[in-house]
Every structure is written in structure tokens, then in C-alpha cells.
Structure 1
Amino acid sequence: MNRVKRAEVIIHAPSADLFDYLARPANHGLIDGSDTVRQVLVGPERLYPGAKFRMQMHLLIPYTITNTVVTFQEGREIAWRHSGRHIWRYQLNDVGGGDTRVTESFEWDRAPLRVVYELLGVPNRNLIAINETLARLKRHFEASAS
């Protein structure tokens, strides 16, 4: 079974600039559409292959989560996972004219609790959050360009 939820948006910004923004954990809370990401507690200023970073989160109660970068292709793709083994991924594709297609996905196929996620409706809630994250990212870059 293909356990992936994804959405995409076209943003008028260079893929290198978008990637650099996404590779900086301090920016994650600024665009997070789930409103659960608060701040970086530990980690590098900019991610790299295998980097670990711990984030302060809040969903009903505060908690922390440590993520590990599992995919890193400069300017094109970045993904991380935590102990729950689901993956958050961003893919960037230059579509010309100064525009970039940004695809964000939530992948839970390898998560030990994948069936629990589904019973609780997590994938569908995450898809709503993905769409909001992409909208916030677009507003951030396109408002900056104005």
C-alpha cells in the first residue's frame, strides 16, 4: 500500500532560495501549517545529509522531537524522519520563468504505528496542514518579492 499524502504549489522564487529556507530548521515554525512546530532546541543552523535536529512541539501538550535528515540533494530535495519513522519531504523543481514547483509529502509506510495513524485520521489532517504550509511558504516568498 502506498501510504503518502502530498500536495504541491508553484512559487515565484528560485529553487535555490526555497531550498535554503527549508534547510534552516529555525524557519519551520514560521510556515508550519499544523501550528505544532514551535522552535529549534538543538541542531545546526542549516541542515545537511544525516543532520539531527530537535524541535519544540505542541499538540495538546508540549513535547520535543528529534529528526534526522534522510534525503539531501542541494536545491532539489530534503527529507527528515524521527523515531516514529514517518518522513516529511520537500521536492523542488524549476518550472521556468523564475517559478518553482514545491511538493511536500508525508510518508508513513514504514512507520510502526501506521495503522494507528490511519485510525486516528493523522494522514488526512497532515494533508490539510501540508496545504497550509505550502500556502504560507508561497506567501512568504511572493510577499518578499513585492
Structure 2
Amino acid sequence: MTTVSEPRPSAYLISRARLIEAPADRIFEVLATPALHSVIDGSGTVKGEQPNGPKRLALGARFGMDMSMGASYKILNRVTEFEEGRRIARRHFSSHVWRYTLEPRGNATLVTEQWDARAVPFKLVLRLTGFTRRHPESIEKTLAKLDEHVTSQ
């Protein structure tokens, strides 16, 4: 499928979209299932879900992920936006938001993933550590892996 780049109003709002030949409900189910986040992660940092978390996400749900970026660590996320089949977003301690929106297009779905760090108080650190440079490619890889996962089932 084609990956579409959207204009970036800020270096701290990175957005990419991809048309996936699958219904929105199938795609949303993957996004709402923490156990599948490591399967679709394009950054290579998400290693798996932590035990005792929810099997499926909902507004306000808290869930932990095992991560690795040079060193292993754990991160606790909270679902901050949730519209069944259409939108899901999460954030953790640093205030940046990972958001997915789904727009049905006939038998396909336009999936947009955003990394929104406009509310982060230490934005300069994100830029100096390379997050603003790495995230566009990571998001594109995530959307490609999501596409492969939902269309190969």
C-alpha cells in the first residue's frame, strides 16, 4: 500500500498515513490489544506487554510494556483517547501522545499514526536525542507492519 506523508505543523507533531486494505474494526482490534504492539512496532523498541495488564484497551486503561533502547526498561501507558473502531491514543510520563485514527474508505481504511510531543515540557531533549528525526521512519515501518499483520490473516 501507499504511505502518505502529511504536512508537519511542528517538529513535535509527526504524522503519517497509510491506506490498508482491511476493515477498520480488524485494524482497531490490533491497536487495542497490548499483546500485539510488539508485533507491529516499527521502531524496534517495544518488546512485549507486561503481565497483569488489560487484554484489551479502553479509555483510561493503564498498561505496561517491556521496552529496549540500548538498555531494557519498562514503561506505563494510559489510554487518553478512545473511540471504538476510530481513534485510540496513549501517553506515558513524558506527556507525548501516540495516536491512531482510522477512516473507513470502502473496503479499506486510512490509518493515521501520530507522535504528538507538543505538550512535552522538555522538547529540546527530544530533538537532541534524535526522536524528531527517527520517528517518521519508525511510524512508516509500524504502519507497514500493521498492514502486513491485518492483511495476512
Instruction: Give the TM interval when normalised to the shorter protein.
Output: over 0.9
Asked if 2 retains the 8 angstrom alpha-carbon contact of 1:106 and 1:123, the reply is no
2:79 partner SS? strand
1:85 Cα shift? 0.5
Alignment partner of 1:12 out of 18, 21, 27: 21
Deviations 1:112-136 (A, max 9, x none): 2211101222122011100000001
Q: Secondary structure of the residue that 2:36 maps to in structure 1?
A: helix
**Alignment root-mean-square deviation, CA:** 1.1
For residue 80 of structure 1, the aligned residue among 83, 90, 102 is 90
- Residue aligned with 1:129, SS: helix
Listed one character per residue, the Cα deviations across residues 79-124 of structure 1 (whole Å, up to 9, x for unaligned) are: 000001000000000011x100000010001112211101222122
Identical-residue share of aligned pairs (%): 40
Q: How many residues align?
A: 143
Structure 2 residue runs of 5 or longer lacking an equivalent are 1-8
Unaligned 5+ segments in structure 1 are none
Distance (Å, rounded) in 2 between the aligned partners of 1:52 and 1:67 = 6
TM-score normalized by the length of structure 2: 0.90
User: 1:12-91 residue pairs with structure 2 within 5 A?
Assistant: 12-41=21-50, 42-91=52-101
The normalised TM-score by structure 1 is 0.94
Q: What's the secondary structure of 2:148's corresponding residue? A: helix
